[in-house]
Structure 1
Amino acid sequence: MWRNIASNAVTFLIVGLFLLGGMVLWGKSQYQSDGPLAEAICLQVRSGSNMRAVSRDLEAQGAVTSGAILRIGADYTDKTALLKAGSFLVEPGASMQEIVDTVTRGGASTCGTEVIYRIGVNRVGVQVRELDPTTNAFVDVADFQPGVEETPAVFAEKTALPDTRFRVALAEGVTSWQVVEALKAVDLLDGDVTELPAEGALAPDSYDFRPGGDRMEILDRMRAAQEELVAAAWAARDPGLPVETPEELLTLASIIEKETGVPDERGQVASVFVNRLNAGMRLQTDPTVIYGITKGQGVLGRGLRRSELRAETPWNTYVIDGLPPTPIANPGRQSLMAAAQPDETDFVFFVADGTGGHAFAETLDEHNSNVARWRQIEAEQADTGGTSNN
C-alpha cells in the first residue's frame, strides 16, 4: 500500500511540475507577445507610484490583458524597483515586456506636455504643446512672448504638472548676448550668469532642464556641445582652406549662418567667401557691419546706411581685410561643415534673388545684372506692399 501511495505521489508531483512548467511558459508567452492596445496611449507614471498602480492603469486603458503577469515579469527581470516617473508613449500592440522596458529605462518623457523656450534671432517665445499619442504629433496648447503678451492660464497649469518636460531651444544665428538675456528671463531657472560666453561658443540645439536648474550649467552644456561641433568640423576640413585655426573656421561659419537661411545654399555661400579670401578680396558682407553696430545686442531693425558701410569697426568687412576678429553669431552644425567643406565654385558674388535665396555670379557684370534684377523685385514688392526677402 505504501508503495502505491509513493508511486501515486510521484505521479502527482510529475504532473504538477508539468502543469507548473506549462503555466510558466504560458505566462512568459503572454508577457512577450503583442498586447491588445489598438491605439497609442500616453501613460503617466506619477512620482512615488509603484508597479501595481501602473499595471492597474494599463489594464483600465486596455493596454495589457493581465496586470498580475506584468508585475510577475517585472519582478522576475529585476525591474520593479527601476520604475521611473514621467509620461511614456505606449505604442499599439506593445507587449508587457516592452512596456516594462519603457517605464524603467529612464531618460526624458516620450509624450505628454512640453514647455519650450524658443530663443530666436527676432523673437523669444514660449511654446506649450502636447503629444497626441494617436497621431504621434505635437499639438500646440499655447504660444506667447513672455513680457510682451499676457501669460495664458494654461502655462501655469501645465508647468505645475510633475511630468512636464522643459526645454530651451536655440535657433541658428542667435548671439550669445541674446541667449543670456533670454535665459535671465526664464523664471523657472535659478542662478546668476557670471560671464557672457564668447560669441559663437554656444551650439544651437535643444537643451532639457528641470525647474530650479542653474543657468550657468545650461550655458556650460551649450559650450561643450559647440566645442565638439567645431572640433569635428576642423578635423574634417578640406585642405588648403584660407583659415588657420578652429576659431577662424568658427568665425567664417558664423558669417555663412547670417547670410543665408537656405540649407542647400550654405556650401555655395561658403565658396564665395573662401574664393574671396584666396583672391585677397574683402568679404563685403552686411551682417558683419551690423554686428559692428549692435555688438550682437539685439536686432538692428532697419537697413544699413551708406555711412555705416564706410565706418571703420573691427567687424566691417567692407573696410577690413580678411575675417573679423570674432564670430558674429552662434553658427549651427551645417554652417560649420559648409565652412570646413565649401562647394567648389568660381563664384565671388551673390545677391538676394527674391525667393528667399540668392543669385550667384563669377563676374562683376553678371553680378550687376543680378543686382539690377533684385532692385526691380524690391520695387515691385514696395508697389504691392510686399516685404523684402533680404
Structure 2
Amino acid sequence: MSRRPRWRRPVRTDQGMFRTFGRVLGTLFLIAILGGGWVVWTYSGPGPTARRDGVTDVILPKGAGVGQIAADLTAAGVIGSREIFYLAAKLGGSGRHLKAGEYEFKSGASMADVLGDIAGGKVVRRFVVAPEGWTSEMVADAVRAQPVLTGEIETPPEGSILPDGYQIQRGEDRGEVMAKMMAARDALLAQLWAGRAPDLPLKTPEEAVTLASIVEKETGIAAERPRIAAVFENRLRAGIKLESDPTIIYGITKGRPLGRGITMKELVTATPYNTYRIVGLPPTPIANPGRASLAAVLNPPKSDEMFFVADGTGGHVFASTFAQHQANVAKWRAIERQRAAAGGTGK
C-alpha cells in the first residue's frame, strides 16, 4: 500500500524577496531622478515667458516674507513654482536677505536668477532730477511728469528745493518726493548757515538763499560763484544796487527763459525784482540755488571787487572801480556788435 505524499507549504526564497525589493527601489530611484531633474530644471532652467514687452515688473512690499514674495512672483508669472522658490530661499539661506522694491525680470529668467536679483537688491532705480537754477515750478512740473508717481502737488516756495537727483519708486507719492527735496535743502542750509563767515550782510538764512539764487543764475561756471558772491555782498554793504539781469527776467517770466534780450523799458520799469531800481535783495529767491552757490554766499572770499561783466567766452571779467568796469563793458559791447546779437546789460 503506497503512502500519499505529505503536503508542504511553499517557502518564499530570499532571492525572490530581493528581486521584489530591487524593483521597488528602482522605481523609487527613477522617481527621485525624474523629480530631482524637474526641480533642478525649474530652478535653474528658463522661467516663464513674460506676458508682454519682454519684461515683467514686480513690486515687492516692505516687510514681505518669503512666502508672500514667492506668491507674488508666481501670480505675476515670473516663476513657475511657488514651492520650489520657497524651499530654495529657505534652504539656501537667501530668504533672510530678500529686499523690497521694484524689480524688472526679463522674459524666461531662471528662478535662480530671480532669487539672486532679489537677494542682491537689484531694484529698478528711477530718478527725478532737479537741476541747479531751476525754479520751483519747473521742478514741480518734472515731478508731475513722472508717470510712476501718484498724487497731486502744489508748487513749493521758490528756493526751498535742493537741486540734485532723487531716487523715486513706482507708486510713491509726489508729495513725499517734494518733501525729500525740501528737507535736503533745509539740512544743507542749516549746516552752511551754522558755519557762515561772521561779517556777512545777510540777516537770515532766507536772505542767503535769495542771494545764492542770483549767483546761481549769473554764471554757469562753478569757479566764478564765490567771486560773484563777493561782488554782490560788497555792493550790499555799500548800499549799491545789485543790478542783476536775472532778477529782471524773473519779474517778467517767473524764471522761464526770456528768449531775447532785456528791453530798455523792462530795464527802467520798477518791479519788486528789478534790482536796477531797488536797493538790496528782491523779496524772494529767483531760483533754487545749488550747494556751490549757497556755500559761496555764506563763505565768500575777501575782495574789493564791485563789478563784473561778460567777457565773451562764457565767463566774466571783474573790476574794483567804476572806471575799470566801464572799460570792460566797452569791450563787451564791441563783442556784441561783432556778433550782431542782442546782449544783456552789463554790471
Residue 343 (structure 1) aligns with: 301
The answer to whether residue 324 in structure 2 is matched with residue 370 in structure 1 is no
- The within-5 A match list for 1:224-239 is 224-239=183-198
Cα offsets for 1:108-155 (capped at 9, x unmatched): x4xxxxxxxxxxxxxxxxxxxxxxxxxxxxxxxxxxxxxxxxxxxxxx
Q: 2:146 aligns with which of 178, 186, 189?
A: 186
**Count of aligned pairs between the two proteins:** 254
More strand by share: 1
Between 163-172 and 344-353, the greater mean CA deviation after superposition? 163-172
Deviations 1:148-200 (A, max 9, x none): xxxxxxxxxxxxxxx5321101110000111122222333322111x320000
Q: Which residue of 2 aligns with 1:310?
A: 268
- Equivalent runs, 1:83-232 vs 2, <5 Å: 83-84=98-99, 104=119, 106=121, 109=122, 163-193=123-153, 195-232=154-191
Q: Is residue 249–residue 339 contact of structure 1 (8 Å, CA) maintained in 2?
A: yes
Residue type at the aligned position of 2:294: L
Q: Which residue of 2 aligns with 1:82?
A: 97
**Structure 1 residues 360 and 83: CA distance shift in structure 2, 3 A:** same
C-alpha contact 2:128 2:142 (8 A) present in aligned 1: no
Separation in 1, partners of 2:264, 2:213: 24
Tell me: CA distance 1:46–1:282, structure 2 relative to 1, closer, same or farther (3 Å).
closer
Partner of 2:240: 281
Aligned residue for 2:128, secondary structure, equals strand
Q: Highest Rg: 1 or 2?
A: 2
What is the deviation of 1:281?
0.5
Query: SS of the residue aligned with 1:196?
Result: coil
Give the equivalent residue in structure 2 for 1:323: 281
CA–CA separation in structure 2 for the residues paired with 1:293 and 1:204? 23
**2:129 counterpart SS class:** strand
* Structure 1 Cα separation of the partners of residues 221 and 91 of structure 2: 53
Corresponding letter in the other structure for 1:83: L
**Change beyond 3 A, Cα 1:268–1:75:** farther
Q: Is the 8 A contact 1:381 1:387 kept in 2?
A: no
Contact 2:260-2:342 within 8 A present in 1 as well: no
C-alpha separation in 2, matches of 1:274 and 1:75: 66
Q: TM-score, normalised by structure 2?
A: 0.66
Query: Using a 3 Å threshold, how does the CA distance of structure 1 residues 386 and 49 change in structure 2: closer, same or farther?
Result: farther
Query: How does the TM-score come out when normalised to structure 1?
Result: 0.59
Please list the CA deviations of residues 311-343 of structure 1 after superposition, one character each: whole Å capped at 9, or x if unmatched: 111111111111111110000110000010111
Matched-pair contact (CA < 8 Å) for 2:261–2:343: no
1:379 aligns with 2:337: yes
Once residues 334 and 103 of structure 1 are traced to their aligned partners in structure 2, the CA distance between those partners, rounded to angstroms, is: 38
Q: Which amino acid aligns with 1:191?
A: G
2:312 matched residue in structure 1: 354
Give 1:103 deviation, angstroms: 6.4
Alignment-mate amino acid for residue 315 of structure 1:
Y
Residue-by-residue CA offset, 1:217-239 (whole Å, 9 max, x unaligned) = 11111110110111111111101
In structure 2, the CA distance between the partners of 1:348 and 1:196, relative to structure 1 (3 Å rule), is: same
Runs (5+) with no aligned partner, structure 1: 1-43, 51-70, 88-99, 110-162
- Measured after TM superposition, the shift of residue 377 of structure 1 is 1.8
Tell whether the 8 Å contact from 1:79 to 1:104 is kept in structure 2 after alignment: yes
Task: Tell me the amino acid that sits aligned with residue 180 of structure 2.
Answer: R
SS for the counterpart of 2:284 is coil
SS of the equivalent of 1:274 reads helix
Counterpart of 1:223, as a letter, is: M
Q: Hey, what's the Cα distance between the residues in 2 that align with 1:45 and 1:293?
A: 47
**Would you say the 8 A contact 1:242–1:274 is kept in 2?**
yes
Mapped to 1, the partners of 2:222 and 2:186 lie a distance apart of: 22
- Counterpart for residue 116 of structure 1: none
Rounded Cα–Cα distance in structure 2 between residues aligned with 1:387 and 1:198? 30
Dislocated runs of 4+, deviation >6 Å? 385-388
Residue 354 (structure 1) shift: 1.2
SS at match of 2:339: helix
Cα separation, 2, equivalents of 1:169 and 1:292: 25
Residue 166 of structure 2: SS of its match in structure 1? strand
Structure 2 residues not aligned, in runs of 5+: 1-54, 59-68, 72-87, 105-115
